[in-house]
Structure 1
């Protein structure tokens, strides 16, 4: 008999999403809001005002102990023990052969306490790998995926909205930093991080407090034009900002150097780390380059479509969508190095047998003014 697939998990805000009329979708085993109305309107709200996201599907893993930093230095490619308390770092966990298992954000909450945040689709893989790799260190790994709900408020109005609900020093909170505080009476880890290309915050709270916090932010943000936002606009926002998505720009078949993110690999940190030798070799290997493509026409490229020039396949689209901000279709693609320079002529995407012309541009497509 074919086993019955497990029912999707639901976040602490599930009933609220349904009451708001959200279109729900199964994402990495979770029932998540795809959109509440128009994904273009949600996208534009984040770019110009503010948007509110439920990201409780993300996977939190806590590592504690006297050697927690050294253990994570061994398990991940970054120099995690060098992160200052109250700061965060973007990093990756790789296989022995250098392939990317996941991209991560690590928050240092104390001298001997770190929270690793993994993508929902890879959370169990990351948990298992970190647990195995810290064996032998004075460090403990705790699965905290059920301990947190994660709510994000993103967009240019988000600092003012959040400031009306907390006494925390948001002005002093730098990008990629986090501090404990209280928001609308709810204890939270307040992090200045996000996946939209805009200023914003991610709030880690107890699931039992999630609905109270969501409602408080909704009420405080209403005069500023804040709207609830689903995963669909989160994808177009991160695409415009040139941010990679695991399973698209990042896979186990690619190294950080293949993805143009070799800067996250810290060979000069003390001790050995998983994948070091393979990554050292990958650093010197010629690879395809990750570029942006902007359509001259209206047809939308999708992941897996061939990128072509002079009748030959020179690469592959990894992500593509209509860009609400640019008003035309865009894509991220891996292409051969000789076709990667911005302005390279004759490049197109094969969309169902038709060569559609595209302009090669540097990433990101969109960068906010500060």
Structure 2
């Protein structure tokens, strides 16, 4: 069995008595005080996440912009220096390689932030696409630690540690600045449905940053947050997870990410298939589900209508914010009707659920 990788914050998690699990080959904290308590801390106050396992891929060269345009479905030509774009990245058949964030330093220099479990696969795939583009592509994941500070108190907490005017940092933009005298890249992004920041620093600086943010945030109710609450938070806000809502057998259009697929831009990998799918109509659609019967719909449980299989659950859990058992499911488009019922097959038993709007939570 391969040895699990650890982030620079592993000793901090151990000292905090976090419950550690194998997450895509990384030994990561799933919870500290408990998933529901941590979830509510982020919704009400603030939470600090170790996301140092995420992958960072650097793309530089005179063809950097046209290369990035080729490999993503969104339109990077709309970016400006210091701005960020979310995008799927597809195979030629329209299936999803990964979803990622594109940071533009300049039109000749981009940072791609990819999912931890996909970093090696993504890097290999991106390298294969270089062809005649004049670019260099480098996996620089080991150089970075990444912390995510999320929640209504996030700006006030971080402002106490930085010389950057955070009120001027708009959503999906980034800058460089000092946090506790450590040079960092600070972006106003996140994966919880709340306002917040992601802070990139050298691996050597991670423990100092972690401790100081928790120290300064203690008066504002900050808590360290594990992967358990990270999942319930992103799920309530309908933020997709690779391996659940996204995958090589699911297109971005089926996953409800059509807004991030710019079919009118220059050619990109997967465009022909996605254009055809848009013209003919998507065969499957992602829907929200609320359990009527008892039970939790877990990822990959079958979904049925009148005993016939019509799709599967992508994500499901108890929602601490709504106090209900909810799920997302990928089902036949013709059956994706609000208010209609479907059956979730839980351990061989059909349990009824109602189709509801899939954005379960939006911050006010």
Question: 1:146 is matched with which residue: 142, 148, 170?
Answer: 142
Q: 2:291–2:352: 8 Å Cα contact kept in structure 1?
A: yes
Alignment correspondent of 1:199? 195
Aligned equivalent of 1:83, options 79, 82, 100: 79
- Is 1:107 aligned with 2:103? yes
Q: CA deviation at 1:172?
A: 1.4
User: How has the CA–CA distance of structure 1 residues 120 and 308 changed in structure 2, closer, same or farther, with 3 Å as cutoff?
Assistant: same
User: Could you tell me which of 271, 279, 282 is aligned with 1:276?
Assistant: 271
Q: Give the equivalent residue in structure 1 for 2:48.
A: 52
Do the aligned residues in 1 keep the contact of 2:150 with 2:190 (CA within 8 Å)?
Answer: yes
Tell me, in whole angstroms, the C-alpha distance in 1 between the residues paired with 2:71 and 2:312: 31
CA distance in 2, matches of 1:121, 1:190: 23
How far apart, CA to CA, are the structure 2 residues paired with 1:108 and 1:146? 20
Could you state the TM-score of these two structures normalised by the residue count of structure 2? 0.96
Structure 2 residue aligned with 1:208, among 194, 204, 208?
204
Instruction: Please state whether the residue corresponding to 2:205 is helix, strand or coil.
Output: helix
Contact in 1 for aligned 2:72/2:269 (Cα 8 Å):
yes
Closer/same/farther in 2, CA of residues 338 and 275 from structure 1, 3 Å limit: closer
Moved more, 351-360 or 11-20: 351-360
Is the contact between residue 154 and residue 201 of structure 1 (CA under 8 Å) also seen in structure 2? yes
The correspondence for 1:97, drawn from 93, 102, 105, is 93
TM-score (norm. length: structure 1): 0.95
> What is the alpha-carbon root mean square deviation over aligned residues?
1.3
- Candidates 343, 355, 363, aligned match of 1:348: 343
Q: Per-residue deviation at 1:286?
A: 3.2
Structure 1: runs of 5+ lacking an equivalent: none
* Helix, strand or coil at the partner of 2:128: helix
Structure 1 residue corresponding to 2:353, chosen from 328, 351, 358? 358
Which residue of structure 1 lines up, in the alignment, with residue 334 of structure 2?
Answer: 338
CA distance in 2: counterparts of 1:202 and 1:168, whole angstroms: 14
1:244 is paired with a residue whose SS is coil
| Structure 2: runs of 5 or more not aligned | none
Find out whether 1:117 has 2:131 as its counterpart: no
User: Matched residue pairs, number?
Assistant: 363
Q: CA deviation at 1:126?
A: 1.1
Give the secondary-structure state (helix, strand or coil) at the position aligned to 2:40: helix
Q: Aligned match of 1:163 in 159, 168, 173?
A: 159
Find the aligned partners of 1:298 and 1:44 in 2 and give their Cα distance: 23
Question: Structure 1 residue 368 and structure 2 residue 360: aligned?
Answer: no
Tell me the residue number matched to 1:26.
Answer: 22
1:184 is displaced (CA, Å) by: 1.2
Match of 1:295 among 291, 295, 307: 291
Structure-1 separation of matches of 2:203 and 2:123: 20
Match of 1:251 in 2: 247
Task: Point out the more displaced range, 157-166 or 254-263.
Answer: 254-263
CA distance, structure 2, for counterparts of residue 367 and residue 157 of structure 1: 17
Alignment partners' CA distance in 1, 2:104 and 2:152: 26
> Retained in 1: the 8 A contact 2:294–2:351?
no
SS of 2:168's equivalent? coil
Quote the Cα distance in structure 2 between the aligned partners of 1:268 and 1:337: 24
**Once the 2 structures are TM-superposed, how far is the Cα of residue 342 of structure 1 from its aligned partner?**
2.0
CA deviation map 1:294-328 (0-9, x unaligned): 12244111112222233332321111111111112
Match of 2:324 in 1: 328
2 CA distance for matches of 1:90 and 1:9?
27
How big is the shift at 1:122?
0.9
Whether the aligned pair in 1 keeps the contact of 2:82 and 2:105 (CA below 8 Å) is: yes
Q: Secondary structure at the match of 2:12?
A: helix
1:319 and 1:30 map into 2 onto residues whose CA distance is: 21
Deviation at 1:77, TM superposition (A): 1.7
Q: Which moved more, 1:33-42 or 1:308-317?
A: 308-317
Aligned to 2:127: 131
Tell me, in whole angstroms, the C-alpha distance in 1 between the residues paired with 2:216 and 2:107: 35
Give the structure 1 partner of residue 300 of structure 2.
304
Q: Is the 8 A contact 2:57 2:141 kept in 1?
A: yes
